Amino acid sequence: EVQLQASGGGLVQAGGSLRLSCAASGLPWDDYAIGWFRQAPGKGREGISSISSSDGSTVYADSVKGRFTISSDNAKNKVYLQLNSLKPEDTAVYYCAASRWYIKPEPKPIIYEFWGQGTQVTVSS
């Protein structure tokens, strides 16, 4: 059974930081990508970053480049998203997801087959 569990969200002031975690298990592929997405109220789901399991390559959306950092700990089957210099417009539910494909320039929800439940990030001004 595939399981993806996102955690680490919370309430933070503008300029603050959070670290999100994604615990993945049961994935049916040897190589895959883990992506982070977010969805703000009334908006579509935005792909913000992904990392390749095979070589650790990463991609970022322009909206988060330079502020967010994705990393992985393969021994723990976890992927992290470090969120720095947070802005009120970063407020959203953040999801992690898994795909057999790693694409550029940023992850597209349509190719991600398995999704976690989401974690809320709220940035106050």
3-state SS assignment for residue 27: coil
Predicted local confidence at residue 76, as pLDDT: 87
Cβ distance 100 to 53 under 8 Å? no
Compute the half-sphere exposure of residue 9: CA atoms within 13 Å on the CB side of its CA. Answer: 20
Q: Tokens 């809320």: give the residue.
A: 120
Residue 42 clears pLDDT 90, i.e. is over it: yes
Predicted local confidence at residue 74, as pLDDT: 85
55 burial (CB, 10 Å; 0-12 / 13-18 / 19+) is exposed
pLDDT tens track for 57-116: 999 999 999 999 999 998 889 999 999 999 999 999 999 999 999 988 888 999 999 999
Predicted local confidence at residue 105, as pLDDT: 85
Query: Phi/psi at 53 (nearest 5 deg)?
Result: -75, -25
Task: State the average pLDDT for the chain.
Answer: 95
d(CA 58, CA 86): 20
pLDDT tens track for 43-54: 999 999 999 999
60 burial (CB, 10 Å; 0-12 / 13-18 / 19+) is buried
Nearest to 36 by CA among 2, 14, 63, 76: 63
Cβ distance 86 to 11 under 8 Å? no
